[in-house]
Amino acid sequence: MSIHQAFHKEMKDAFKLDAKKIVELFDDINARLDYYEVINDLPTHKSFSKVVERIKKLQERKSVFPDGDPLVVSYQGTDFELETLFDLVGWIFSVTGQIPKDATAANYYYPLVILYCQWCRTLSANSKKEPQMVQITWFSQGSTKRVCIGSNLDKPKKPRKDAARTKRFDRLLKDDLAREDERQKSYVGDGGQLIGHCAETFPALFIKSLGNKVMLADARGVAVKPFEALGDEVANKFDVPNTELRITLLEDPCANCKIVLPRLGNINLNNFSVLNL
Determine the Cα–Cα distance for residues 118 and 3; give it in Å rounded to an integer: 16
Please answer whether residues 36 and 8 qualify as being in contact, where contact means their C-beta atoms are separated by less than 8 angstroms: yes
Torsion (CA) 113, 158, 83, 200 in degrees, nearest 10 = 40
Contact 95, 38 (CB under 8 A): yes
Residue 18 confidence (pLDDT) above 60: yes
DSSP secondary structure letter of residue 8: T
The pLDDT score that the predictor gives to residue 1 is 43
Lowest-confidence region among 13-17, 161-165, 223-227: 161-165
- pLDDT (0 to 100) of residue 190: 67
pLDDT category at 216 given cuts 50, 70, 90 is very high
Mean per-residue pLDDT, 91-100: 95
pLDDT digits (tens, 9 = 90+) for 171-190: 999 999 999 999 999 998 76
Query: Using CA atoms, how far apart are residues 195 and 145, in angstroms rounded to an integer?
Result: 28
Q: Phi and psi (nearest 5°) for 188?
A: -70, -25
Q: How confident is the model at residue 50 (pLDDT cuts 50, 70, 90)?
A: very high
Global pTM value: 0.96
Q: Give the number of C-alpha atoms closer than 13 A to the C-alpha of residue 259, restricted to the C-beta side.
A: 16
pLDDT of amino acid 270: 97
Nearest to 226 by CA among 153, 118, 138, 122: 118
Q: Give residue-wise pLDDT tens across range 238-266.
A: 999 998 899 999 999 999 999 999 999 99
Distance CA(146)–CA(119), nearest Å, equals: 20
Residue 72 has pLDDT above 60, yes or no: yes
Separation in Å, CA 136 to CA 59, 108, 182, 277: 24, 11, 24, 12
Beta-bridge partners for 78: 75
| Mean pLDDT of the region 81-109 | 95
Give the pLDDT mean for 12-29.
Answer: 96
